[in-house]
């Protein structure tokens, strides 16, 4: 699944993603930490990995595996 960064707080390393259908999806610090990224920019396109319950477990760039 992919989305766009709607907000990101570098202090807490968490934020909100906007899915293509307009749904907002929050991500916790552990999902950002699992990405290996150093920062996110507003409007940046990202790939979203979720667990079976729909919780975001990793936020990465679309080109990363």
CATH number, position 22: 2.40.50
Are 4 and 43 spatial neighbours (Cβ–Cβ below 8 Å)? yes
Residues of the domain holding 13: 1-49
For residue 65, what pLDDT is reported? 61
- Number of structural domains the chain divides into: 1
Q: Say if 60 falls within a structural domain.
A: no
For residue 64, what pLDDT is reported? 64
Q: Are strands 14-19 and 56-60 parallel, antiparallel or unpaired?
A: unpaired
Q: Say if 63 falls within a structural domain.
A: no
> Distance (Å, rounded) from C-alpha 19 to C-alpha 14?
16
Q: Is pTM beyond 0.95 here? A: no
SS3 label, residue 11: coil
Q: Say if 59 falls within a structural domain.
A: no
The one-digit pLDDT tens for each residue of the chain (65 residues) are 999 999 999 999 999 999 999 999 999 999 999 998 999 999 999 999 999 999 999 999 988 66
Name the strand (E) or helix (H) holding 50. strand 45-50
């Amino acid at each position: 699944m992919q989305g766009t960064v709607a907000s990101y707080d570098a202090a807490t390393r968490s934020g909100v993603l906007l899915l293509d259908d307009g749904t907002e999806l929050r991500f916790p610090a552990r999902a950002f930490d699992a990405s290996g990224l150093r920062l996110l920019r507003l409007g940046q396109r990202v790939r979203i990995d979720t667990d079976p319950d729909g919780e975001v477990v990793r936020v990465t760039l679309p080109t990363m595996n």
